[in-house]
Structure formats: structure tokens, C-alpha cells
Amino acid sequence: MTAAFPLTLSGVQVRRQGKTVLGPVDLTLNTTGTTIIVGPNGSGKTTLLRVMHGIERFNGGQVAWERDDPAKHGFVFQTPVMMRRTVAENLAYPLKLMKTPKDQIVMAVDHWLARIGLEASRGGQATRLSGGERQKLAIARALIRKPDVLFLDEPCANLDGHATREIEVLLHEVASAGTRLVMATHDMGQARRLANDVVFLLDGKIHEFGSAATVFATPSTPELAAFLRGDIVS
């Protein structure tokens, strides 16, 4: 178990313009591995991730980490934000914020460039990378600070199968190395490949939460069963 966990959400609610978009949510994440949040569009997956990461204000409830250190969380957005810098400078940026010594930055950048296969592009502008390369760079940039937990908001949306597989391989390696992953996706195939446990969100509320094996084999709510079948759930 990573030092930051367990993460406990108690009665967390997010309201926007008088409408509840999330909650109340009660959830405790205390296992290692990968938690996958699934649910239809607008069910609150992104909001839940942002609340957990601490970049979304919530109107009620409480989010409690075992040991809260924001520098030990990483976040990968659905549409990766590429800074107007070179690929190497994008990778180095989080370490520069932490005033990491230059030689360590160079080593870490070299390591991650090799790992995501972008050594040849190190001096090129990050904004000119392909969608898959951008997302790999965004993941590497989030991981370069060695976070305890990495939140990923549908990182493979809009990517083709090859790029998706590369990212899944990377995420498998990262999870095996002990980084806790919490990821939203609406790709059920991906959820089955990566999940250790699953949160099913619908209309901003948690309908089901349990181990992946149990949730996928014996969904306890008709909504999740329908969602797993590929039916439209609203």
C-alpha cells in the first residue's frame, strides 16, 4: 500500500449552478493496483477524479488522505496539455518546479524519453507530436516526480489501438512498480484489462464498487449489468 492511502471520501458533493453533478459520494480506496472508474458520459467520472486530486472544489463532505502531499499526486488529462516548449523541456518542467538539481533532471529526462520512445524528438516542439505521443509524454511528465498516485482521465480516448496498447503497457509497468493508479474510462475492454477494482458511477453517484473480478462477473445492479452489455444507460 502506498503511504498516501487510504483515501477516504465522505459525503462529497459537487454542485454547479444549483445542480448536483457529483455525490454524495462515500468511497475508500485502500488497495494497491489500479482502480477504474466507469460510467456513461456526464456521470461524474472526471469530477470525481478532480476532487480526489484536489483541483475541483466540492460543496460538501470531506476528502481525507492518510498522508496528504499534493506533490505526490499526478494527473493526466483526457486532452494532454502540451507546454510551448520542447519535448525534453516539458518533461523537465515538474522537476524544475521542485528545484531538483540539474544533473538529476537530465538523468530523469533521459530515462523517461527512452522509456516512452521519444528520444529522437527530445529537441522538437511538444505541440507537434501525434496524439499518442502527446499522451505518453503527458503520462511521463506526471510520473517523473515519482508520485504515489496517478489519476488518469480517459487517457486513451481519441487514440488508435496501437497508441492505446503502448499506453496500457506503460501503465501496467507503472502499477507493477507500486504507483497507485485511479483511472476513468468508458472503454470496457480497457477496464477489464487494467482494473483491480472498479467504481461504477451513474448520475454522479456510486452505483457499484468492488473488485474487478466480482463486478464484471456478477454486477449487482441492473444499471451496471446493462452498461456492461453495452446498452445505453442514463
Partner 1 sequence: MIEFLDGLAAAFWLVVNLDEELWEISLRSLRVTLSALLIASAIAIPLGTYLAVQRFRYRRFVISMINALMGLPPVVVGLVVYIMLSRSGPFGVLNLLFTPTAMIIAQVIIITPVIASIAHQSMRELWAEYHDLLISLNTSKRQRILTLIYDGRRNLLTAALAGFGRAIGEVGAIMIVGGNIDHVTRVLTTAIALETGKGDFALALGLGFILIGIAILVNLAIHTLSRTEREGRW
Check residue 39 for interaction with partner 1 (CB under 8 A): no
Name the one residue in this structure whose C-alpha cell is 477524479: 49
Check residue 97 for interaction with partner 1 (CB under 8 A): yes
3-state secondary structure of 13: strand
Check residue 136 for interaction with partner 1 (CB under 8 A): no
> Is residue 222 reached through a cis peptide bond, with omega within 30 degrees of 0 on the bond before it?
no
Span interacting with partner 1, options 10-18, 119-127, 166-174, 176-184, rule CB under 8 A: 119-127
Check residue 169 for interaction with partner 1 (CB under 8 A): no
Among 124, 172, 188, 225, which residue sits at the site for partner 1 (rule: CB under 8 A)?
Answer: 124
Check residue 71 for interaction with partner 1 (CB under 8 A): yes
Neighbours of 208 (CB within 10 A): 20
Cα–Cα distance, 83 to 89 (Å, whole number): 9
CA distances (Å), 152 to each of 34, 56, 181, 233, in order? Answer: 11, 15, 8, 23
Nearest alpha-carbon partner for 200 in 221, 177, 229, 231: 221
Closest approach of partner 1 to the CB of residue 158, in Å: 17
Check residue 180 for interaction with partner 1 (CB under 8 A): no
Size of the residue set binding partner 1 (CB under 8 A): 18
Close Cβ partners of 99 (under 8 Å, ≥ 6 residues apart): none
Among 39, 74, 132, 219, which residue sits at the site for partner 1 (rule: CB under 8 A)?
Answer: 74
Among 5, 58, 65, 75, which residue sits at the site for partner 1 (rule: CB under 8 A)?
Answer: 75
Where does this chain bind partner 1 (CB under 8 A)? 53, 55, 70-71, 73-75, 77, 81, 83-85, 93-94, 97, 123-125
